[in-house]
């Protein structure tokens, strides 16, 4: 089962509610800062992990070795690796008030790094560097393998790699998750339930890409205007009408809507009917 849901500003709530009926624990996959727990790049807005560290003992879990654990540094986090924290105590709710939770909630957290603001093309639909897609696939696959290693066949996933901090193409990310669940020989068939929980159902990474393109073109247009009087240069019509191009587009789909489309039953059936080169006999024997 795959569910796409609005987490109502608290993604960890989904991890607890998803397993509350049968008392089954759902690990939560969280994007983490590469160099330290709860950290972020100075130019970035606060991340979800930073907020979760305020509301739980996640920071302590990521910095304290448990008895019997090897003395191996957890940071910096490797490209395809992650950190598994089995019992993170979430003691306060989200928002400005941070009201105490009664009772507190315990959940496993898998902390994995994401690419931060990679260069993209096609209005944010594709990575400029193909290797970036492979890296994100390795990170996501690594997180799922951590789940399986610790005997979890259910998982809650937030807006990993998207939003104001990371800005990865949401369509590509959704397809990476889907293809791993459907075709990866180690992962396929091993997850009974997957929940994609979005804090903000209106979050729109694609629209951000479109807006950035308009801003870049407008800056270039103004720069050329400033030198126009001193030259015979004629500003291309395509440059001066970027705002019109932007206004003519339909609204970009939200991140949540993209995941709903990619994981729609009809789309899943279409993908399964399409021959997959990764499942060919030649690929299996290579």
Kindly write down the DSSP assignment for every residue of the chain, as one continuous string: -EEEEE-TT-HHHHHHHHTTTTT----EEEEE-SSSTT---TTSPPPHHHHHHHHBSHHHHHH-PPTT-------SPPTT--EEEEEEEEEE-SSSS-PEEEEEEEEEEEEEE---S--EETTTTEESSHHHHHHHHHHHHHHHHHHHHTT--EEEE--TT-HHHH---HHHHHHHHHHHHHH-TTTTT--SEEEEEES-TT--HHHHHHHHHHHHHHHHHHHHHHHHTTS-----HHHHTHHHHHHHSPPPPPHHHHHHHHT-HHHHHHHHHS--GGGSHHHHH-
pLDDT at res. 283 = 44
Residue 134 CB: number of other CB atoms within 10 A? 12
Point out the least confidently predicted range of 49-53, 67-71, 127-131.
67-71
Contacts of 93 (CB under 8 A, 6+ apart): 10, 55, 99, 100, 101
Comparing CA positions, the residue from 115, 214, 110 lying closest to residue 165 is 115
Q: How many CA atoms lie within 13 A of 237 on its CB side?
A: 0
Whether the pLDDT of residue 235 is over 90: the answer is: no
pLDDT at res. 286 = 43
Q: Rounded to 5 degrees, what are φ and ψ at 4?
A: -115, 120
Whether the pLDDT of residue 177 is over 90: the answer is: yes
Comparing CA positions, the residue from 103, 89, 20 lying closest to residue 55 is 89
Express each pLDDT in 29-53 by its tens digit: 999 999 988 887 777 788 888 889 9
pLDDT at res. 194 = 96
CA pair distance 105, 92, nearest whole angstrom: 9
Residue 248 token pair: 């003519």
Residue 172 token pair: 């590509």
pLDDT at res. 14 = 57
pLDDT at res. 110 = 96
Please tell me the total number of residues recorded for the chain in this structure.
286
24 — pLDDT class (breaks 50, 70, 90): confident
Beta-ladder partners of 110: 29, 84
Contacts of 251 (CB under 8 A, 6+ apart): 207
- Greatest mean pLDDT range, 31-45, 86-100, 150-164: 150-164
Mean pLDDT of the chain: 83
15 — pLDDT class (breaks 50, 70, 90): low
CA pair distance 104, 159, nearest whole angstrom: 23
pLDDT at res. 11 = 60
Residue 267 token pair: 């789309």
Whether the pLDDT of residue 270 is over 80: the answer is: yes
Domains contained in the chain, CATH given: 2-203+254-285 (3.40.220.10), 206-248 (no CATH)
Between residues 139 and 238, which one has the greater pLDDT?
139
126 — pLDDT class (breaks 50, 70, 90): very high
């Amino acid at each position: 089962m795959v569910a796409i849901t609005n987490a109502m500003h608290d993604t960890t709530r989904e991890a607890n509610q998803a397993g509350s009926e049968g008392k089954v624990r759902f690990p939560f996959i969280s994007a983490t800062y590469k160099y330290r727990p709860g950290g972020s790049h100075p130019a970035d807005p606060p991340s979800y992990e930073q907020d979760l560290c305020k509301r739980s003992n996640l920071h302590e879990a990521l910095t304290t070795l448990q008895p019997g654990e090897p003395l191996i540094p957890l940071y910096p986090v490797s490209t395809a690796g992650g950190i598994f924290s089995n019992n993170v105590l979430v003691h306060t709710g989200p928002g400005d008030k941070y009201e105490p939770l009664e009772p507190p909630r315990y959940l496993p957290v898998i902390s994995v790094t994401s690419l931060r603001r990679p260069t993209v093309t096609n209005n944010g639909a594709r990575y400029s560097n193909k290797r970036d897609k492979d890296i994100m696939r390795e990170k996501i696959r690594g997180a799922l393998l951590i789940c399986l290693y610790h005997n979890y066949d259910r998982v809650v996933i937030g807006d990993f790699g998207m939003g104001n901090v990371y800005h990865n193409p949401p369509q590509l990310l959704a397809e990476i998750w889907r293809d791993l669940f459907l075709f990866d020989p180690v992962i396929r068939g091993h997850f009974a339930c997957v929940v994609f929980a979005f804090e903000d159902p209106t979050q729109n990474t694609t629209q951000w890409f479109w807006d950035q393109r308009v801003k870049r073109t407008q800056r270039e247009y103004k720069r050329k205007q400033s030198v126009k009087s001193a030259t015979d240069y004629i500003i291309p019509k395509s440059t001066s009408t970027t705002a019109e191009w932007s206004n003519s587009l339909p609204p970009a789909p939200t991140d949540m809507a993209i995941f709903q489309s990619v994981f729609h039953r009809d789309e899943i059936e279409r993908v399964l009917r399409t021959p997959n080169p990764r499942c060919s006999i030649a690929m299996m024997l290579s």
